[in-house]
Amino acid sequence: MIEIVKIIAGALILFGAFLSVVATFGVIRLPDVYTRNHAASKSATLGVMSILLGTFLYFWIEHGHFNSRVILAIVFIFATSPVAGHLISRAAYNSGVPLWEKSVQDDLKGKNQIRQAEK
């Protein structure tokens, strides 16, 4: 039983590390701010959540130590990391960072002028 749970924890940790590397490749290679944000805020979040789940399982099974702070950290990261991604992407759009030159659709274009006129 303990060995099985250790294998599961190891698989979760490896999966999380793999997802972190994937997020970094996205952040390095993608062309503009918004696509980079898309890569970083999703993939890194899931990767770290999986690593923390593996940590929690390890301490619970190996030491019988139910650590609720790790659960709280998982919930906190799941709640706040996409919000941080949304905020920084919105700040980038409103401060005029250009989209990738090959992108075909910009639904927010012109909405800002309308909002400014309504004020």
Partner 1 sequence: MLEIILRISLLCISLAMLGLLYRVVKGPSAADRVIALDAMGINLIAIVALISILLDTSAFLEVILLVGILAFIGTVAFSKFLEKGEIIEHDRNR
Least Å distance between CB 111 and partner 1?
A: 15
**Interaction pattern, residues 29-68, with partner 1; x per rule: CB under 8 A:** ----x--xx--xx--xx-xx--xx-xx--xx---x-x-x-
Q: Strand, helix or coil at 101?
A: coil
Phi-psi region of 103 (alpha: psi -120 to 50; beta: other; left: phi over 0): beta
Give me the residue label for tokens 């996205």.
26
Count of residues in contact with partner 1, rule CB under 8 A: 53
User: Interface with partner 1 includes 5 (CB under 8 A)?
Assistant: no
Q: CA 97 → CA 24, 76, 90, 91, distances in Å?
A: 21, 29, 10, 9
The Cα–Cα gap between 10 and 24 comes to: 21
**Chain contacts with partner 1 (rule: CB under 8 A):** 6, 9-10, 13-14, 16-18, 20-21, 23-25, 27-28, 33, 36-37, 40-41, 44-45, 47-48, 51-52, 54-55, 58-59, 63, 65, 67, 69-70, 72-73, 76-77, 80-81, 83-85, 87-92, 94-95, 97
